[in-house]
Amino acid sequence: YGDDGIAAVLAEGAAIVLTSTVGIQAVEVVAKRLADDGIGLADAPVSGGPARAGQGDLLVTVGAYPDVYEHCKPVLDAMASNLVWVGQAPGKGQSMKTVNQLLCGVHIAAAGEALALAGELGLDQTLALEALMSGAASSFMLGDRGPRAIQAYAGEEAEVKSRVDIFVKDMGIVTSAAKSVGMAVPVAAAAEQLYLQGLSRGQGAMDDSSIINVVTPKKG
């Protein structure tokens, strides 16, 4: 992106749709360099995971100048079930994705701590998960990762739908972004440490729900 590899073969007036989560500053630097070559950049990170990507069922949050956004909209519409133009410059898509990942990363870690605590307190975790999801404690991530976290706690190898090392990367982007604006995010930082501990315990390629075994390692 932006080096001699791709930019050299693109015609002036072309635009690149960048769907990766790479951080705010990285995109701003690349966008500026591409703009000097007359190439637009739609900063369009996606959320939803591989399974939903295959069905075109993704949240796509775009940062792009208005002309680039219009140019890329047909492609973006085809990818996204939910397309949000969050800002009129590259970098704003990354900003939005960073905020999104803060919540996702914290919610998965909280689900791990909560279901581990339920287990350690002698509750039936499956019954507990059902009760939790019926009320104010519910989150998308608790419902999605909860069953696999319970499997992992029981010592089973849960199916890998999204890896621990993805959140090592993404929570790193979150805490760096917060630092860049002079903000402390202690809850997100604690979650980042859990993912790093998972990585150091050899869980990098395991499902992110396996983070439950970082707080209850004897079950790992």
Residues that bind a second copy in the complex, under the rule CB under 8 A: 24, 47-49, 59, 61, 82, 84, 86-87, 92, 95-96, 98-104, 106-107, 109-111, 113-118, 120-124, 127-128, 130-132, 134-142, 144, 174, 177-178, 181-191, 193-194, 215-216
Using CA atoms, how far residue 110 sits from 15, 60, 127, 218, in Å, is: 39, 25, 18, 19
Catalytic (active site) residue 97: yes
Answer for the pair 64, 43: CB distance below 8 angstroms, yes or no. Answer: yes
Q: Give the residue with the Cβ less far from a second copy, 206 or 214.
A: 214
Q: Give the residue with the Cβ less far from a second copy, 39 or 96.
A: 96
- Report the Cα–Cα distance between both ends of the chain, in Å, rounded: 40
Q: Give the residue with the Cβ less far from a second copy, 7 or 28.
A: 28
CB of 102 to a second copy, least distance (A): 5
CB of 121 to a second copy, least distance (A): 4
Using CA atoms, how far residue 113 sits from 39, 43, 120, 131, 188, in Å, is: 46, 34, 10, 16, 14
CB of 77 to a second copy, least distance (A): 16
Mention every residue, 6+ apart, whose C-beta is less than 8 A from residue 19: 44, 45, 46, 60, 79
What residue type is 36 in one-letter code? D
Say which of 32, 97, 169, 219 is annotated catalytic: 97
What residue type is 156 in one-letter code? E
CB of 132 to a second copy, least distance (A): 6
- Integer-rounded Cα Rg, in Å, for the chain is 19
Q: Give the residue with the Cβ less far from a second copy, 7 or 114.
A: 114
Would you please indicate which residues are annotated as catalytic (active-site) residues? 97
